[in-house]
Amino acid sequence: MSDLSFSENGFDDAAAPRTPRLALHGISKQYPGVRANDGVDLVVAPGEIHAVLGENGAGKSTLMKIIYGAVRPDAGEIRWEGAAVEIASPAAARKLGIGMVFQHFSLFETLTVAENIALALDEPFDLAALAKRIRDVSHEYGLDIDPARHVASLAVGERQRVEIVRCLLQHPRLLIMDEPTSVLTPQAVQKLFETLRRLAAQGCSILYISHKLDEIQALCDTATVMRGGRVTGRVRPRDETHASLAQLMVGHSLPDYTRRPHTPGAVLLSVRDLSVASNDPFGTSLAGVSFDVHEGEIFGIAGVSGNGQAELLAALSGEGNGAVAADAVMLCGKPAGRLSPAARRRLGFAFVPEERLGRGAVPAMSLAENALLTAHRDARMVRHGWIGARTMRAFAKRCIEMFDVRCGGPDALAQSLSGGNLQKFIVGREILLSPKVLVVAQPTWGVDVGASAFIRQQLLDLSARGVAVLVVSEELDELFDICDRIAVLAGGRLSPARKSDETHAEEIGRWMAGLFGDRGAAPSEPQPAHS
């Protein structure tokens, strides 16, 4: 058998009748307190790129897990190429020809590419022969990857190639892509789209899950829209506008962002020549990072995760290894590089970490208890060592109401909320503390368009009240929408800052690949807010 003969393995369906590759009829799944899927119908044709759209909690993830065999439906029928099937496990799904590339990579960093791919294969293999297959397939599809490299040495975009190649080696007839571009530069996104279009042209069906409406319109042939576990519409994305797609997803039109007139003032957060060695053996050390964030300004830092973002956020929040000069981080004019997280908060610092569950909130604690994590400085909430339960619940209730957090009230567990609603609670909690400086990481990552619009407007309103806001994000659209200035962190180095209306996604994308400083631009240096 050839290393990967798609015509022999079913990708070339030109002569086959147009029986749907996958057809779901009346799929339902009930969890305690929520009906995740309610009579869902979905049809995907051979060679079709089919989007599944919906806000957080709409039931998309449950439906994909049912298709991939990770969850069993309570009711309904699955038909695969015309025949009724039961998909009892991911292994059974792979035998049918269903592959899935997850949003969060499932790779072992200490193993090589070939060893990681071998772990996912359901048949016996020879590592040397497998390495040759990896080289051949990755080259054929423009996804070149060295099978001998350790995953720890790969950039994030390269790791995604590994996930895709791993699926291709299993000859998929249906490929499920879950938020595949959340960690890619604009250039890498275009390369991925070329690969997906080529696969589709050869007959491979693709289910594409994304919150990025521009990608859906550029790539997908059709889209199924879900809301509240049900299908609410089926459309051709190219015939729709962003506004109409968003309205189908959330049930109402999205408000335009409103920028309040304001003039950036004094520097409230200053970072000077920050160099930090990463504690993580696979992390990225910071080298001479310098920037200022002014009162009333939103300063954005773009970049693909793994380029020093975690180290920078730890140094700013006080959770780092302590090897930072006192004046390397200045908060409201005071040296803060050696201060504890609590001492920085007393100066007016607030922080929204990237990891919602585990760092931003404790999963098994109620929202009221999670409010206490950072709001305990409120004298009414903790007095003489005693927790004021009534005040704590009132704070959580106010956050829920002001920030439209859809949940069961202050006693709801953090882990019971959808990602978007938990993010709104965490952002709201920090804003209600009336900070002078807010640092927020990935504010809308994996969040639906409705919740994203709400969170971004809250950040704009906060800056208009004079707060200095630093946003670290991989979402370029987000940064261009709300930021006054944008810089890029790549390989632990910070690019020059640009006013958001004086740069463009292509330039920022090149910088995300490290093409600045001594490789094409001026070295990292603080930039004025408005020159």
Does any domain span residue 521? yes
In the chain the first and final C-alpha atoms are separated, in Å, by 64
Binning pLDDT at 50, 70 and 90, where does residue 407 land?
confident
Query: Is pTM, for the whole model, over 0.85?
Result: no
Q: Are residues 461 and 333 in the same domain?
A: yes
pLDDT at residue 5 above 70? no
Give whole-number Cα distances, 151 to 162, 163, 445, 467, in Å.
Answer: 9, 11, 24, 40
pLDDT score at 13: 44
Q: Looking at the structure, tell me whether residues 271 and 344 fall in a common domain.
A: yes
In a domain? residue 175 = no
How many domains would you assign to the chain? 2
Give domain status of residue 448, yes or no.
Answer: yes
Q: What is the CATH number of the domain that holds 272?
A: 3.40.50.300
Rounded percentage of the chain residues whose pLDDT exceeds 70: 91
Structural tokens at position 31: 């969890």
Do residue 334 and residue 449 come from a single domain?
Answer: yes
In this structure, is the dihedral angle defined by the CA atoms of residues 77, 81, 85 and 90, taken in order, positive or negative?
negative
> Is 407 or 224 the better-scoring residue by pLDDT?
224
CB 446 within 8 A of CB 182: yes
How remote is the C-alpha of 431 from its chain's centroid? 22
Burial of 260 (C-beta count, 10 Å sphere; 0-12/13-18/19+): exposed
Which among 380, 404, 434 is the end of a domain?
434
For residue 155, name the pLDDT band (cuts at 50, 70, 90).
low
- Do residues 338 and 483 share a domain? yes
* 442-498 residue pLDDT tens: 898 767 787 888 899 999 999 999 999 999 998 888 899 999 999 999 999 999 999
In this predicted structure, the answer to whether residue 504 has a pLDDT above a threshold of 60 is yes
Instruction: Give which of 132, 98, 96 is closest to 114, Cα–Cα.
Output: 132
pLDDT of residue 75: 96
Q: Is the pLDDT of residue 10 over 50?
A: no
pLDDT over threshold 90, residue 267: yes
For the chain, give the mean pLDDT: 86
Query: How would residue 322 be classed by pLDDT, with cut points 50, 70 and 90?
Result: low
Residue 291 lies in a domain: yes
Longest dimension (CA), the chain: 78
Lowest mean pLDDT among 6-20, 240-254, 316-330: 6-20
Q: Of the candidates 434, 468, 488, which is a domain's last residue?
A: 434
pLDDT at residue 15, as a whole number: 41
pLDDT at position 80 over 60: yes
- Reply yes or no on whether the pLDDT at 531 is more than 60: no
pLDDT tier at 304 (50, 70, 90 boundaries)? confident
307 and 363 fall within a common domain: no
Distance CA 229, CA 512 (A): 37
Same domain? For 386 and 491 the reply is no
pLDDT tens, residue by residue, 169-187:
888 999 999 888 766 667 7
Residue 379 and residue 525 in one domain: no
What sign has the CA pseudo-torsion 304, 220, 91, 162?
negative
Residue 166 lies in a domain: no
pLDDT of 357 reads: 81
Residue 412 belongs to domain spanning? 356-434
Query: Do both 430 and 448 map to the same domain?
Result: no
- Percent over 90 (pLDDT), the chain: 54
Do residue 385 and residue 456 come from a single domain?
no
What is the Cα 458 distance to its own chain's centre? 19
Helix (H, G, I), strand (E, B) or coil at 18: coil
Mean pLDDT of 31-38: 85
In a domain, 238, yes or no: no
The CA distance from 276 to 318, in Å, is 13
Task: Give the position of tokens 């519409």.
Answer: 233
Structure tokens at 21: 């590759």
What's the one-letter identity of residue 403? F
Of the candidates 420, 441, 448, the one whose C-alpha atom is nearest the C-alpha of residue 489 is 441
* 389 and 443 inside one domain: no
Cα separation, 259 vs 265, in Å, equals 16
Task: Say what the pLDDT of residue 9 is.
Answer: 40
Answer yes or no: is pLDDT of 529 > 60. Answer: no
Last residue of a domain, one of 381, 416, 434: 434
Give me the sheet containing 34-44, strands edge to edge: 34-44, 22-31, 75-80, 83-85
On whether residue 526 sits in a domain, the answer given is yes
Q: Which residue has the tokens 């249906």?
A: 174
Are 272 and 408 contained in the same domain? no
What's the pLDDT at 379?
A: 60
pLDDT digits (tens, 9 = 90+) for 380-404: 788 777 888 899 999 999 999 998 8
| 450/531 same-domain check | yes
Return the ∠ at Cα 113 (arms to 108 and 117), rounded to 5°: 80
Which of the four pLDDT bands, split at 50, 70 and 90, describes residue 412? Answer: very high
Rg over alpha carbons for the chain, rounded to the nearest Å, is 24
Order across the sheet with 49-54: list the strands. Answer: 98-101, 174-178, 205-209, 49-54, 222-227, 230-235
Domain annotation covers residue 492:
yes
